[in-house]
Structure 1
């Protein structure tokens, strides 16, 4: 009798395992999180899925701005072999959805009450024709200035809050033998600096007209000339090895005290944290000069592609559920340097930079001073964004192009379809 009971238990266990295996699927995820803090964040998502019995197939394509990843994704989709999920954001989500290759996740969104916990400014980006086609992971603030306080102390200077003060600080750092500005000469990094200058010099209304609405009169007007002139002045305070440098290597220069400042989004904070540094003590996070009352946002999200395998579809739905869970939102954003996209999250485990970011995001959402980052694919169609990035980098690297020339080219680039 005991033997029969053992056999029957073994058979039941096998049936359970088989049922589990039948429901377990593979989720292939395309992303470009390959640096220290980002890689930890990606690992957190992988662990969450594996706990549910699914197989994670990592499809990481290096390159901070994601341009390389998008090239690879296009070839995969065209060949009918799309991954389950891909890191896509902003207007590009709508472009992919219009191609008919994305699946909607309304059932997951309804079960998770996404409309109640995601701010409307974010939810609208995640939807196509009223249906959720992507899961948002986080909110990054782009208009940050990262500073090594020890470098300021050595140079006998202070944290700048305006662009005039920025150049005074940069000059003091230069005289002290410290590289004033850590920078990586890649077009998305050039434009990250450029849009912070545009917001700080021109203000929110100017930024919206020039870099969201792409208004020709604003792009060619006197305010834009001032923005470009200010932007170009920064180059004199970068080092000769900047061209081609990855953003995280520029951040490392600030961490080590080789450089004093970096203008970069809050993914840079993940690098400081990964290096064991404490905000407020080992490094300072401050709004880019002149942008204290505004917030340039960059939202990472995963678009979900149509699949043919039912088990993989289940894994894909579980991925979307996991991404929006409070537990994952906390774990992921603690590693990534960003803040949760879910509202009403407890921020007690987060550092002072994140708490400031969350408070500013909520305040700016109410005052209408949240603006999408054009450098990070949140503001305009990809063709216009790419063409404008090229112009800004050409201006940055040219000794002959005038601000007026750059304005004319920017206005032309903005019309790219």
Structure 2
């Protein structure tokens, strides 16, 4: 993907900042040693994980100004960030990921973390897949917090046992489990009817039905032949079948509420990234005993990744700059990497850490990350902002969620719309 194309909303931001960049370096309300951090880690497990970093920063003498914006997919947080940037007053650091890091870098608004990177030897510490996302124009502008696996299936073993079904490893097994689960009084698949959640399970289905090579062609490279071809039509048809596994009250439901349905035994399973594990952990549950994890059915050879990262905005105040550098350094130190990721459900951004204290799901995730990286199955998540720019992602979201919720729209029509909207947005 060329990095010169920008979101329409960021084009407006660029125009506003053409005359306001100097103001962005002087109008910040933060004082020496203060660091304002915009993020969307607001659910139980996520908030607990973010607090770890806050405590570490305060132990170093800095003041953490928490700027938490609720919304599991981060869309609301990005809207707030653009508003702040356009007013010439961006936060010190913001949770930005994937291609959007490049967009903010192109606007000349991000700081330089090369000094911290050199001191901590990020070049050897980080997998190249992770490191390349953190760089703009050859310079480090962001620090990775973790690596999430998106293509997970979570399940309540007591519910499965009560219905007499096994943890499904294929889509056929997943659909076959629905009838006995419903007869036993359970919702087969917990889901939140939000566009980003629809897209999350959609990309799982694309991987399961068409494989990694096709996934890359369609959802990363945006190849029109792939987006509108027979594999996409098959994936869309299977995707809509998943509605038969869900309850009628899912519209607007937050992802963590769907996770709680599995925890409480109202639902059997959930397709969601490993941040869901943070909710199980916060509930005091043990992986492999109180809940089960497995790759989304049919995606065992793939690992769709979502890397949370903190990008640093340019500041003029020396104390604030030092606080930013300390923040970047602390994020990659073992103390935070272990504590944060054990609470969040993800795996460390640096693979050299001892994983013996992590649960079995995390240990499997790291092993699968390394294996799929070697085998070519490591895929950036389209649904979570790692594969395409936000304008393209938003266009795909619209098609996916409209199709999923429209009983009359055929898969062929959705595939045609996928091609047209992706090309128009790009």
Structure 1 and Structure 2 fold alike (TM over 0.5): yes
TM-score normalized by the length of structure 2:
0.92
Q: What does the per-residue CA deviation read over 1:109-151, in whole Å, with 9 as the maximum and x for residues that have no partner? A: 0000001011001111110111001000000000000011111
153-162 or 188-197, which deviates more = 153-162
Q: What does the per-residue CA deviation read over 1:198-236, in whole Å, with 9 as the maximum and x for residues that have no partner? A: 111110001000100011101111111110011100111
Matched length? 395
Indicate the structure (1 or 2) with the bigger Cα radius of gyration. Answer: 1
Q: 1:175 & 1:343 partners in 2: Cα distance?
A: 44
1:138 match: secondary structure: coil
| Alignment RMSD | 0.9
1:203 match: secondary structure: helix
Q: CA deviation at 1:24?
A: 5.4
Q: 304, 323, 326: which is aligned to 1:315?
A: 323
Q: 2:134 is matched with which residue? A: 126
Q: What does the per-residue CA deviation read over 1:92-121, in whole Å, with 9 as the maximum and x for residues that have no partner? A: 000110000001100000000001011001
Are residues 1:46 and 2:54 paired?
yes
Q: 1:345 is matched with which residue? A: 353
Q: 2:340 is matched with which residue? A: 332
Are residues 1:154 and 2:165 paired?
no
Q: What does the per-residue CA deviation read over 1:142-169, in whole Å, with 9 as the maximum and x for residues that have no partner? A: 0000011111111111111111111001
- The answer to whether the 8 A contact 1:24-1:53 is kept is no
Are residues 1:299 and 2:317 paired?
no
Are residues 1:288 and 2:296 paired?
yes
Q: What does the per-residue CA deviation read over 1:352-391, in whole Å, with 9 as the maximum and x for residues that have no partner? A: 0000000010111111110000000000011000010011
Q: 1:271 is matched with which residue? A: 279
Q: 1:210 & 1:36 partners in 2: Cα distance?
A: 35
1:311 match: secondary structure: helix
Q: CA deviation at 1:171?
A: 2.2
Q: 1:53 & 1:173 partners in 2: Cα distance?
A: 53
Q: CA deviation at 1:241?
A: 1.0
Q: 2:267 is matched with which residue? A: 259
Q: 1:376 & 1:279 partners in 2: Cα distance?
A: 24
Q: 2:179 & 2:406 partners in 1: Cα distance?
A: 22
Q: 1:148 & 1:115 partners in 2: Cα distance?
A: 40
- The answer to whether the 8 A contact 2:32-2:318 is kept is no
- The answer to whether the 8 A contact 1:29-1:85 is kept is yes
4+ aligned runs moved over 3 Å, structure 1: none
Q: 1:30 & 1:226 partners in 2: Cα distance?
A: 40
TM-score normalized by the length of structure 1:
0.94
Q: 1:158 & 1:229 partners in 2: Cα distance?
A: 24
Q: 1:133 & 1:308 partners in 2: Cα distance?
A: 16
Q: 1:197 is matched with which residue? A: 205
Q: 1:113 is matched with which residue? A: 121
Q: 1:24 & 1:382 partners in 2: Cα distance?
A: 34
Q: 2:230 & 2:167 partners in 1: Cα distance?
A: 28
Q: CA deviation at 1:294?
A: 1.1
